Structure 1
Amino acid sequence: MIDSLDIHKVFLVGKDFGARVVFHFALLHPNRVLAVATLGVPFLLTGPGTFPQDLLPKGFYMLRWQESGRAEADFGRFDTKTVVKNIYILFSGSELPAAKDDEEIMDLVDPSTPLPAWFTEEDLANYASLYENSGFKTALQVPYRAWLEEYGVEDIKIKVPSLLVMGEKDYALKFSGLERFISSGMVKEYVPNLEITFLPEGSHFVQEQFPEQVNQLIIDFLNKLV
């Protein structure tokens, strides 16, 4: 695609599971990437030996959604708009979403819970209409059912300048040592040229919660490269 547009290098931005996509591209084609920015998720190793299933709650949403058909059955009890609403409510919190043995992930949301203040009914309608057309198949495949797949390269190091933006109240920071992985500098073993910014009141959806601030961080980062 970038060849057809006669573009030599690209600046890649990935949110959540999109982080794996842009990092994978940077590993495979480092000479075609100017820089990488990710929101909500840092660089992470993949493969069977790097996914700490034994350290996660039994009913953790990622484990549940790895099971073929389980999320489909759970989501299928509701209309698309309700599923999207529940996801935004659930993943705007600061706790790891995990269900009991007699629960599914959608059961964790009280139907009376309002949307986050920064997510409007218009936003919800627009997102729901998109998922009405696409379904949730791809969203479940990447990353939940593809997490154990290797990157397929020997040199696991992102060699281009990178930016990570996360909210300090992002539930993902409680994910099996993820906060320590970032704050200790361990992440820079794989992404040596990395800038990290935490937004104090930010949730997992920092780009929607604070769009102007996140945009400015990305613009400032780009300006340093040109």
Structure 2
Amino acid sequence: MRTFLATLLVAISGALILWLSTDGGRAFTAEEARRLEIRENPRSVPDWQLENQDAEAFRFQDWRGHFVVVDFIYTSCPSVCLILSGNLKTLQKDFSVEGKLDNLRFISISFDPEKDTPQRLKEHLSHFSADFKNWIAARPTSASQKESILDFFKVIVIPDEYGGYTHSAGFHIINPEGKLVAIFGMEQLDELRAYLNQVLEDKDNASKN
């Protein structure tokens, strides 16, 4: 009987921890909980100053008034970053054809700024046929700034034994008011496209009224 009660108590405790850590059962992973929290509680993005692929200063404030899609990369990445950039290339093409690119911007932020010089960032964008007016790559200007940015966006970056990184991957949406309002996983390209179509349509309709 005592063993049964102990087992039952452990099971109840585990269920309670799971319930609390998954936001009442609505999210079953930390990443899903993060996405849900941002949807419900948008956060103002600090106006960091970065260095872009032309070795020029870029501030998040520069793109106020647009929807901005942010991803995190390092240019020597052999896998995940290529998929992220490939998806942005697809979105750039799709929204350009639809005539919606004026209200949309992309920024790829390097978390390996020591190696990712402006020249390497430019080469990376060129490989994906980026329109530099609408899609830039940038790097933090200090180690403390890099950590601040990664912490704000909750991006996990872990150096591996090969000189590269294991890292989380996704697309972070900043609205025209400068708030982080949504996060989509690398595998959610269709959902991301649908979301952007909707918010861009809403923005266009609002401007006409």
TM-score (ref. length: structure 1): 0.24
TM-score (ref. length: structure 2): 0.26
